[in-house]
């Protein structure tokens, strides 16, 4: 969430930021109507309070002087004054709520380094690693090879849950579990603290990271007040909601594995085959809390940490910077890490690493104290990134490590996590 003072003083910058995001809008006229009314109410209330204090002091003097009628009139004036203040306070609450909701709907301001663009086709490539494999046989897509090996079952997923669900069996289930453990181990070895989190969350938590109210249609409701989490970012970031951290603690590095649940309401017709875009998927998440001066450095290191997972697995990838038309609601800058998928003959997103500046911290009220450098408290900067999306990593392994005989070679780094299994063969 942007600072209301910033919006008031920099409406042209907000206009420009929304325009650069292509489809973002805010009601500038209504903002200033509400902001002006709020200020007028404050001035009127302060005047009425001062007037009430003066008249209240006069009542005692009038009573002592025996001017009972004048004293009663003064009491009536004080009562009327009190009623008016109550009315104004109620109106101020309503105005401030509408003003808060309006500002809460404005997306973050993209960093100056974010390139301008209309959509993902304008995302500039930053770097590549690895070379896509040249097959000397007819390579298969994971949605064909997985069922043939008996490790992915789409039909039974649809039968027991519905469209865009699948089940994993045998070595498929083992590979999923191996990838999760491998990723968590890789992150914790370099200093991330692991957490085990609930997968049900509340409205305040989702508001804190920006999923509510804007993206409610993409969330699965458990009841009117509870939801299934769309990502562990929501839970990890809100661990420190309404807290004041000490500067000596920063940066904080957190990681967690969770299943994630998304309605994908706006993705009809996109990636409908396979396990690339489904309603439930596993993901290992990274979240960081940093000082404003250090957060961009932390974004670079977080992206490198996501890349390291792919390097160790030997999967070709590239990194792109999201342009203004593709960047997420809460982010000020994002790198997407895209893995090579032969079935698409293209790179597909497997991680998004974002710096949200103080946007989420303001919504979730997460601050830090640094007595040596400033008085009071400041908002932290929050960052998040996938490390990685497990299902997409499995799809990439199946496709990139397939053999002519229909088997899959297990990446060397995963063999210990697979109980020594080096090749996945057809299962009965």
Q: Which residue intervals of 291-426 are DSSP H helices?
A: 295-313, 359-364, 390-400
Secondary structure E strands in 104-251: 125-129, 152-153, 167-168, 193-195, 200-202, 221-223, 226-228, 243-246
Catalytic residue among 262, 285, 330, 338: 262
Our answer to whether residue 262 is catalytic in this structure is: yes
Contacts (Cβ under 8 Å, ≥6 apart) of 51: 81
Q: How far apart are CA 291 and CA 288, in angstroms?
A: 10
Distance CA 407, CA 145 (A): 9
Residue 277 appears among annotated catalytic residues: yes
Active-site hit among 37, 349, 369, 378? 349
Q: Is 181 a catalytic residue?
A: no
* Distance, CA of 178 to chain centre: 26
Q: Which of 38, 128, 277, 425 is catalytic?
A: 277
Indicate which residue of 352, 354, 363, 386 is catalytic. 352
Cα 8 to Cα 14: distance, rounded to the nearest angstrom? 10
Burial (0-12, 13-18, 19+ Cβ within 10 Å), 322 = buried
Question: Over the stretch 100-145, which tens digit does the pLDDT of each residue have?
Answer: 999 999 999 999 999 999 999 999 999 999 999 999 999 999 999 9
Domain range summary for the chain, segments of one domain joined by +: 4-104, 120-424
Domain 120-424 falls under CATH 3.30.930.10: yes
- pLDDT for 292-342, tens place per residue? 999 999 999 999 999 999 999 999 999 999 999 999 999 999 999 999 999
Rounded distance between C-alpha atoms, residue 42 and residue 286, angstroms: 43
Task: Answer whether the bond into residue 213 is a cis peptide, omega within 30°.
Answer: yes
Assess whether 248 carries a catalytic annotation.
no
Q: What is the pLDDT along the chain (428 residues), one digit of tens a residue?
A: 999 999 999 999 999 999 999 989 999 999 999 999 999 999 999 998 888 777 777 776 666 667 777 777 778 887 888 888 999 999 999 999 999 999 999 999 999 999 999 999 999 999 999 999 999 999 999 999 999 999 999 999 999 999 999 999 999 999 999 999 999 999 999 999 999 999 999 999 999 999 999 999 999 999 989 999 999 999 999 999 999 999 999 999 999 999 999 997 655 566 678 999 999 999 999 999 999 999 999 999 999 999 999 999 999 999 999 999 999 999 999 999 999 999 999 999 999 999 999 999 999 999 999 999 999 999 999 999 999 999 999 999 999 999 999 999 999 999 999 999 999 999 86
Q: Name the CATH topology of 4-104.
A: Helix Hairpins (1.10.287)
349 flagged as catalytic: yes
Helices marked H in 152-259 — which ranges? 154-160, 171-189, 203-209, 232-238
Whether the Cβ atoms of residue 193 and residue 255 lie closer than 8 Å to each other:
yes
Task: Tell me what percent of the residues of the chain surpass a pLDDT of 90.
Answer: 87
The upper half-sphere exposure of residue 219, i.e. CA atoms within 13 Å in the direction of its Cβ, equals 26
The alpha carbons of the chain give a radius of gyration, in whole angstroms, of 28
């Amino acid at each position: 969430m942007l600072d209301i003072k910033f919006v008031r003083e920099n409406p042209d910058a907000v206009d420009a930021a929304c325009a650069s995001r292509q489809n973002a809008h805010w009601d500038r006229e209504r903002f200033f109507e509400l902001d002006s009314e709020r200020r007028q109410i404050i001035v009127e209330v302060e005047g009425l309070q001062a007037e009430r204090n003066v008249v209240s002091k006069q009542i005692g003097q009038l009573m002592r002087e025996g001017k009972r009628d004048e004293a009663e009139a003064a009491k009536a004036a004080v009562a009327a004054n009190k009623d008016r203040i109550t009315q104004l306070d109620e109106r101020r609450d309503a105005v401030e709520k509408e003003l808060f909701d309006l500002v809460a709907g404005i997306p973050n301001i993209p960093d100056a380094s974010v390139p301008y663009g209309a959509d993902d086709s304008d995302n500039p490539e930053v770097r590549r690693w690895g070379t896509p494999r040249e097959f000397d046989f007819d390579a298969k897509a994971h949605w064909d090879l997985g069922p043939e090996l008996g490790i992915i079952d789409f039909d039974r997923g649809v039968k027991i849950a519905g469209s865009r669900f699948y089940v994993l069996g045998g070595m498929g289930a083992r590979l999923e579990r191996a990838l999760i453990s491998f990723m968590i181990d890789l992150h914790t070895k370099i200093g991330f603290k692991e957490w085990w989190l609930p997968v049900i969350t509340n409205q305040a938590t989702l508001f804190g990271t920006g999923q509510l109210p804007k993206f409610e249609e993409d969330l699965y409701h458990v009841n009117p007040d509870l939801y299934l989490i769309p990502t562990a970012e929501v839970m990890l970031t809100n661990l420190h909601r309404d807290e004041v951290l000490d500067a000596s603690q920063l940066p904080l590095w957190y990681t967690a594995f969770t299943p994630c649940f998304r309605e994908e309401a706006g993705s009809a017709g996109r990636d409908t085959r396979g396990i690339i875009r489904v309603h439930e998927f596993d993901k290992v998440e990274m979240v960081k809390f940093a000082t404003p001066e250090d957060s961009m450095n932390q974004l670079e290191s977080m992206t490198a940490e996501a890349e390291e997972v792919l390097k160790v697995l030997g999967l070709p990838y590239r990194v792109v910077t999201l342009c203004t038309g593709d960047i997420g609601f809460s982010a000020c800058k994002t790198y997407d890490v895209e893995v090579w998928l032969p079935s698409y003959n293209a790179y597909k997103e497997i991680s998004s690493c974002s710096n949200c500046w103080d946007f989420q911290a303001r919504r979730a009220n997460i601050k830090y104290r640094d007595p040596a450098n400033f008085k009071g408290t400041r908002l932290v900067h929050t960052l998040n990134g996938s490390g990685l999306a497990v299902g997409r990593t499995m799809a990439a392994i199946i496709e990139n490590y397939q053999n002519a005989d229909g088997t899959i070679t297990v990446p060397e780094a995963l063999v210990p996590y697979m109980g020594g299994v080096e090749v996945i063969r057809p299962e009965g």
